[in-house]
Amino acid sequence: MGKSVEKLIERLRGELRRHDHLYYVENSPVVSDQQYDELFAELKQLEGKHPELVTVDSPTQRVGGRPLEGFKTIRHAVAMLSMDNTYSADELREFDKRVRKIIGEQQVRYVVETKIDGVAVSLRYEAGKLVQAATRGDGVSGDDITANIRTLRSVPLVLGKVAAEAKPGPAGDRQGGEESLFEKSRVKVPAVLEVRGEVFMPNSEFRRINAEREQAAEAPFANPRNATAGSLKMLDSREVAKRGLRFLGYSLGEVDVDWAGTHREALEKLTALSVPINPGHELANDIEEVIEICGRWEKNRVELDYQIDGMVVKVDDLAQREQLGQTSRAPRWCIAYKFAAERAETKVKEIVVQVGKTGALTPVANLEPVQLAGTTVSRASLHNFEELARKDVRQGDTVLVEKAGEIIPQVVEVLKEKRPQNSQVFRPPLQCPQCKGTVAKDEGGVYIRCINPACPAQLVERLRHFAGRDQMDIEGLGVSLVEQLVREGLVKSFADVYRLDEQQVAALERMGKKSAANLVKAIEASKNQPLERVLAGLGILHVGRRAAAVLAEEFGSLDALLHADKEQLQAIDEIGPAIAESVYQFCHGETTRNLIEDLRQVGLQMPGQTARKKKGGKLQGKTVVVTGSVADFTRGQLEALIKEHGGKATSSVSKKTTLVVVGENPGSKAKKANQLGLEVMTGQEFLDMLAN
């Protein structure tokens, strides 16, 4: 009985892997979702009765167990570089000229691929098994998202391990067992193989999830890319598995052998190993063919079930790529062709004024719904009242809207020939539209603000920002729930969030016991967020995530920051006079002292970085500028190296600079360093110093 059960389990696994391959790689499924689910349930039931037969690469093990406590940082074996962008056919031709100038008389072929608008990841396989997955991060290091990637059915857990006959056949066929597809195709699996690709959310899944979120009174995701990025950063892989994410491979990272001679050959071998690759790729014999392919895809992109924001053009021959090399930031053998922003014509139904977390009043156009870049747009920010007056947008106007960076809808032009005769200029409000309090314009600025500190609209926005994914990351504390909490008087400050209990939350509209328990759990987990996230969440004027990280690293603790004077703040690189003044005023206000004490009383830890600051290094106390390219290091890698040895990397040479590293093809910074009499090293001298 034992052997027969084991064989049945292996056959079921083989069938499920075959159907995954047919669906995600071959794009030719032969069973319905229901039939697949029945096979999966049968396997799960058998494994439940025989847990000793469960293996890590079984299809049932894609959904993880307990939530993670956080994400580890992984350093990429091969840097995940960014790409230079082009926006026209002429710029593509210029790219081709640069390639041919280095390559010479050799024939150059290009592979043209759709540029999927998702999240770049690297999958590491050792001995054919998935051992690690990481986000791109800064190109040098990324987050370890292995547990979440394992939930994606499109990602093979073992390379090439699908049913032997990966062709349409009877759904219930239990003959033949399982063998590796690469054994049939003679494709050898390297000991180490990194597959680079994109994780994305199909448009259909995006619409489904947003419909569910709206029904649950949760804020909908802005776009599929944001939804994907947020999903991959979830600590509970079981929740990630519900998001319908997909993976498509498009290149290689580290490979321990010479595995392919061309990019196309590498893609074919990945396909043979059951890795789904970007289907939108074509071989072009010259740059004019590249331009034709880009133009065709620009017209047809709406037919895809996922977002693309352009095309990627790559030299096909890998030896030619070696010859072309790279700059400090990007490879010379590839380039991105970005599509022009899609525009649509619609009407302004009304102009309303929103109140932000700092009291800023922002005019917003409510539009007649229109399809734009794959999503329905019904609102567009008008930024501020000076911008509104400059564009002269009025209620009833016919306007052109586009998505800035394919994300944020904005009005770009008013079609004044279609303007109604009775239209009226929109005037800035003389009082806050929410609390009817006094408003005032920033001195020397463009924003009008409500100056009533008790304004409930400001409180809602501050709380929403505080709970956001890039700040305290309190999953479930969306705008609808925040509005209820403020309206019911349950939350009047940041600290009040931490005083909520399950019973209070469960009693709110559209909240049940399970949702309340999950929210309270997320609130409790946020107590350990690092200092930089707390600073970013407090809503200090001019202080975003980057400035918060700089302040946290510089001072190491909240107490040290609270006692800093203006001179200390202004002396920090990346902290200008406006930020320094804003931070100083915030830190030395009585309200802030009470706020911080309140947050500490409810249990916020706000861990700083004191231990890391005390760590010594060969560059301790030095401010380093690098100009030109140094060996094969990317700019991000060099900055990480400088920081690792105790130094601070900056981009401009000044009297505060203590060391300038001059690499190949340096810019004017080298000359300025000599004029200022600063210490100068060649790139190799710099690397030798750190190595010794």
The residues annotated with a catalytic role in the active site are: 115
| 68 backbone φψ class: left, alpha, beta (φ>0; ψ -120 to 50) | beta
Let me know how long the chain is.
Answer: 692
CA R_g for the chain? 28
The single residue listed with the structure tokens 């008389």 is 105
Q: Do 624 and 647 touch, CB atoms closer than 8 A?
A: yes
Calculate the alpha carbon distances from 87 to 311, 335, 344 in Å.
10, 10, 20
**Residue linked to tokens 């690098």:** 626
Q: What is the DSSP letter of 52?
A: G
Specify burial of residue 677 (Cβ count, 10 A radius: 0-12, 13-18, 19+): exposed
φ/ψ of residue 241, rounded to 5: -60, -20
Residues 6 or more apart whose Cβ sits within 8 Å of residue 485: 463, 491, 500, 508
CA atoms within 13 A on the CB side of 311: 29
How far is it between the farthest Cα atoms of the chain?
85
352-362 as b/e: b if 16+ CB within 10 A: ebebbbbbbbb
DSSP 573: T
Who contacts 319 (Cβ-Cβ below 8 Å, separation ≥6)?
A: 261
Listed residue (461, 409, 408) closest to 434, CA to CA: 461
- Token pair listed for 159: 């390379």
CA dihedral of residues 665, 668, 674, 675 (deg, nearest 10): 170
Please give the sequence-ordered ranges of beta strands (E in DSSP) within 341-494, or none if there are none: 343-355, 361-372, 375-381, 398-404, 408-414, 439-441, 448-450
What is d(CA 450, CA 359) in angstroms, rounded to the nearest whole number? 5
